[in-house]
Structure 1
């Protein structure tokens, strides 16, 4: 889909900090993260809603979410827990109408900061080039630690 930012990244027409990619999905770092190392698991197939995906693709997305969690921990990040979230539809706060799974690392005592960042994260458009360089370095680290299974 021409105007979908995730499709643009998948087609190489837009930048993305890629952690992992296979023929069915991609894992990349969120450009507007809630917490450091906030990843998105995105199917290659463009579908707006989770209900439109085949069951085996849904299972694959959540398997990649599980492996992303392992990569966070194997990379030595200060992570105690994770939120795994799907905003399914505009009314559920889905900003990009292409299915994606958020994998958000959590640390102890970060609930208030996470809640505040979630509501304002898309407003921070300054310093994108510097943020992209930082995300690319982090994507490289996570890719090194991304488990095969």
Structure 2
């Protein structure tokens, strides 16, 4: 879709701080992060709602979210927990109508700051060039620690 921000990023028409990319999806840093290293996991297939993706791609997105969490921890960031969020539809606060998974690192004791940032994050459009440089450096660090995909997935039901 030509007017979709994430499709334009996928096509190289808009810049992004890319942590990881494969043939099906990409992990980028959010330009207006809730907390440092706030990532977005985005399918390359345009679909506004989660229900429009096939189960294989949905599983892949969640695996990338899991691997993003691992990279954030391995990179030495002060991470104690995560919010993994999908805003699925306009009424659920989805600002870009293209499925994406937020992976937001949490440090503990940051609830008030996180709530304030969440409410005001899209208002700050100043200093984008400086912010982009910082995000690009952080994307490189996370990319260095991004784990490879598991060769096979085995679930024990014992």
TM-score (norm 2): 0.94
**Distance in 2 between the 1:69 and 1:5 partners?**
24
Moved over 6 A (4+): none
**Distance in 2 between the 1:91 and 1:119 partners?**
16
**Distance in 1 between the 2:3 and 2:132 partners?**
21
Is 1:116 aligned with 2:116? yes
Deviation at 1:108, TM superposition (A): 1.0
| 3-state DSSP of counterpart to 2:47 | coil
**Distance in 2 between the 1:126 and 1:90 partners?**
26
Provide the residue aligned with 2:47 in structure 1: 47
Provide the residue aligned with 1:141 in structure 2: 141
Question: Which consecutive residues of structure 2, in runs of 5 or more, have no partner in the other structure?
Answer: 150-158
Deviation at 1:15, TM superposition (A): 0.2
Q: How does 1:1-149 map to 2 (within 5 A)?
A: 1-149=1-149
| 3-state DSSP of counterpart to 1:36 | coil
**Distance in 2 between the 1:63 and 1:124 partners?**
31
Larger Rg: 2
TM-score (norm 1): 0.99
Question: Which consecutive residues of structure 1, in runs of 5 or more, have no partner in the other structure?
Answer: none
> Which deviations, in whole Å up to 9, do the C-alpha atoms of 1:12-44 show, x marking residues without a partner?
000000000000000000000000000000000
